[in-house]
A and B are shown apart, each in its own frame.
Chain A
């Protein structure tokens, strides 16, 4: 089958679906708050997948489950994320064969093997770079990147910030377990300072990254944080992330039961979670804690956020989250409420969700625009011959 055949086959399929089922860009692509009602994705909020053909038949979780035996450690947070992902994918309504999952190296990067779709388990740190090629080459596939804290922030740190600044249309699931699992327990770039591990018996010496702050510093257009064990929240964040057209970074707090067990216990333990999780939701005052006794205020002079007793400042003084602010400073300020040491408290939700042109759309536009000047054999002959020729007889 030639390239032409395949492309025309794909084209025909798309044509069939055209106005009836194809996702159309809405006027406002920004997804609403995490608490948005669930339901099948339709044209309404899903410009992130505009161009991806819809499945003619409804798919189920089973359709996205491959025949491979899942081989993570018992109790690994990756199982929960995989289950949430497989449960969520049918909701998008896109054709399964138009899904591409690219991963790097690490425990979580085995993810593509377990999802029945096109998948590429690549090399350490480079998934975002490879996925950039996939996303730029094809506007008709939904591209997901599966990566971890070591993969994305250490060896692949450069590619991560660049894919974010370019705003390539793909969704990055960053599994952050704050440890190196696959290599058996060295500290990672998100481990807290002083972390005792096999490679740091006297404690780690380097300050950790806050992935959300890093992404916002790179002016990522969609940045969110969620937790492996909160399937509802995880799914709602995935929904918003895929709806977003551009690079979406989703940090997932993910427990490693073998090498860093309990790293997120403060957020998961029902007795502490209310005071540990600061839920951020666009348009809502930022309030949390048992009975909503805590809140977040923003210092008008410095723009810095701090946690206060609501009783002391009053509800009206609380900061109202603005995920759509053009300037990332607001979201960045919020991200600084995350503990950098042992995690006792962190904001969870969508920090930033703004519309901006994507690299891949613009790149394809340039190619399409240029093709208007003719691209057949004659045009190519003209190029190859050039202007200054001479004839030998």
Chain B
């Protein structure tokens, strides 16, 4: 009888050629793990090239999955298991695998030619260079072809099912349920019975191979993670963002108008929204980024919820129109799914280096509220909040996701749509002033005394005809004005309106449990956006060593929560990890005159939790020494 080992957590990385279906394999393993009840976190990593030359290092595509019996925060820094479908995949990923880690390799692809191509002089599977690892060199391709030969597919088509063979084998090894993948394949290839049957057969053959051979002496179990009761699903950031936008528009009773131009990694939001027209969603694939946001703003003027989705280069192009939205004070949602820059940068890699662009990348004083979700599922809630602010304050709002959140997935407690509060767009239908002659008139820039928001009167509303535009507005009337005092007043009013959004923002809460001596931490870690996962994971690891460290996380980048300054001042050291060269740190230093320490990593990958944990421990120890 085989041994079954129980583990708390496992990180598996599937790596192969871009055409090998590694993303699909990873997705399926994730879905099966999620349904099983593990907590999950994923990191897809793929080249920007659609089909980079086969078998080369640039063509390697990978998918990392972390699953555990407790709530995990990141996809894991280093895999425990590497599935390598060819020599390039092995070479590109072996450095991340800790000594003692498991390698499952498809030896069919380890031919002399393929090895030479990526610079191996000899076959690492046989030359003992991998002696420190547990290597399982299996002929996955050969076994797959053998298993599916009765379907009469070409050798090439048959071998394409090898990812399912590998998935089957891993499913057996980690005791995953198989129904989900079987149902998935059945539905996905319903119109191609040969392909469907080949994939199903390969999947089952992989599972059976594990069961019947003696290759693996041990199998592993990872028990479900305890989670709050309820109905769960798996969700990626882009999907959550799309659902959040639809739900927010639905709850405001507004049709949603998306103007967008395809751009990695934001295009999936366009794809998703275009599937859900039934909820009053119009999707306009514009001729360029500028037209995308322009049409969205036009739709907002006409009484729809205008939305545009893009990445950093697109935000740059949209800057002038966002400025027009600031001036015309119309609701508009701009989603920046950040990627590594500058310029084209690394489109499929993640980064947080658009913060200053989003804050200040417009001519003139053009403040906009800025929000950033902290996890894939949090994109849903952040979209709801962004829309509420945009409508209530008649302002463009920028939501900053990134490639890591966009493509990463996690379990999500499905919200109850009916219990999400409605937002009243409060269209104006009445005049709001009386002129000197006693006539009722409409002043399009007369403001709500509390929020400073102006009325939103949409075309078709009789008696409220008015003109707005990019030229400076006279207060109240909205007429063109070059008056110096008026300009200063309007600049300050627009700023005050955005500053006033702070009343929607709850005070920031710091996680800082008292130590045995009743004292609190001296070091505070402050992050924003997608660094949440690595930060919390690193903090937990540091705390396990007995050290004290506090953390808090910003969702609101503009305005900041009211109590942020007080929090910053109450710690001896504030460390701000960011995937940029210290953009939030710059804002904090400027606004609060606090000497925060920037912790920068710009590798196109999430911050490494183990590296961060080590560095935090150093900081904590250093402060303790200083005190002593």
Q: CA–CA, A6 to B252, complex, Å?
A: 13
The CA of A24 and the CA of B615, in the complex, are separated in Å by 72
The answer to whether B34 touches A3, judged by C-beta atoms less than 8 angstroms apart, is no
- Contact among A2, A113, A121, A159 for B424, CB-based, below 8 A: A2
What 1/0 flags go to A100-126 for Cβ under 8 Å of B?
A: 101101000000110011111111001
Nearest B-chain residue to A111, judged by Cβ: B467
Q: Which residues does chain B contribute within 8 Å of A4, judged by CB atoms?
A: 253
- Give the complex CA separation of A385 and B230 in angstroms: 12
With contact pairs A122-B324, A159-B291, A370-B278 given, residues A136 and B299 touching in the complex (Cβ less than 8 Å): yes
Question: Could you tell me if A384 and B417 are in contact, using CB atoms closer than 8 angstroms?
Answer: yes
The one of A2, A97, A119, A381 in contact with B426, judged by C-beta atoms closer than 8 angstroms, is A2
Chain B residues lying within 8 Å of A140, measured Cβ to Cβ, are 460
Interfacial chain B residues near A116, Cβ < 8 Å: 465
B415 surroundings in chain A (CB, below 8 A): 384
Q: A112–B426 contact, CB under 8 A? A: no
Inter-subunit contact B232/A119 (CB<8 Å) = no
A377 / chain B contacts, CB cutoff of 8 Å: 250, 417-418
Q: Which residue of B lies closest to A63 (CB)?
A: B465
Q: A130-B297, A390-B37 are in contact. Are A112 and B231 (CB under 8 A)?
A: no
We find that the number of chain B residues with CB closer than 8 angstroms to chain A is 83
Residues of B contacting A183 in the complex (Cβ-Cβ under 8 angstroms): none
Tell me if B's interface is mostly helix, strand, loop or mixed: mixed
* In the assembled complex, A371 has its CB within 8 A of some CB on chain B: yes
Q: Does A374 contact B (CB under 8 A)?
A: yes
Does residue B469 face the partner (Cβ distance < 8 Å to A)? yes
B324, A98: Cβ atoms closer than 8 Å? no
Give the interface segment out of B127-135, B197-205, B302-310. Answer: B302-310
Q: In this assembly, does A133 line the interface, its C-beta being within 8 Å of a C-beta of chain B?
A: yes
CB of B526 closer than 8 Å to a CB of A: no
Instruction: List chain A residues, Cβ under 8 A from B468.
Output: 119-121
Contact, CB under 8 Å: A141 / B229: no
Within 8 Å CB of A380, what residues of B?
Answer: 246-247, 250, 279, 417
B602–chain A nearest beta-carbon distance, Å: 33
Task: Determine the chain B residues whose CB is within 8 A of the CB of A386 once the complex forms.
Answer: 233, 235, 414
Residues of A within 8 A of B252 (CB): 3
CA–CA, A131 and B294, complex, Å:
8
Do B257 and A136 touch (CB < 8 A)? yes
* Mask: chain B, 193-215; 1 = CB below 8 Å from A; 0 = not: 00000000000000000000000
Indicate with 1 or 0, residue by residue over B268-307, a CB within 8 angstroms of chain A CB atoms: 0000000011111110101110110011111111111010
Q: How far is B459's CA from A133's CA once the two chains are assembled, in angstroms? A: 13
Contact B257 A129 (CB under 8 A): no
Tell me the residues in window 314-354 of chain B with beta carbons closer than 8 Å to chain A beta carbons: 320-321, 323-324, 328
Residue of A whose beta carbon sits closest to that of B278: A370
CA distance A1 to B286 in the complex (A): 32
Q: Is the CB of B479 within 8 A of A134?
A: no
- With A95-B462, A133-B257, A367-B281 as known contacts, state yes or no: A392 contacts B296, CB within 8 Å: no
Whether B122 is near chain A, meaning CB under 8 Å from some CB there, is no
Selected contact of B459 from candidates A100, A129, A363, CB within 8 Å: A100
CA A102 – CA B466 in complex, angstroms?
12
User: How far apart are A373's CB and chain B's nearest CB, in angstroms?
Assistant: 5
Q: Is the CB of B290 within 8 A of A137?
A: no
Q: What residues make up the interface of A, taking CB atoms closer than 8 Å to B? A: 1-6, 9-10, 53, 66, 68, 95-100, 102-103, 105, 112-113, 116-123, 126, 129-138, 140-141, 158-159, 162, 363-364, 366-367, 369-375, 377, 379-381, 383-386, 388-393
Nearest 6 A/B pairs, CB to CB:
A133-B298, A121-B469, A133-B295, A129-B294, A119-B467, A370-B277
With A134-B302, A138-B303, A158-B291 given, name 12 new contacts (CB 8 A): A97-B460, A100-B301, A121-B470, A133-B298, A133-B300, A133-B302, A134-B459, A137-B303, A367-B281, A372-B278, A385-B233, A390-B35
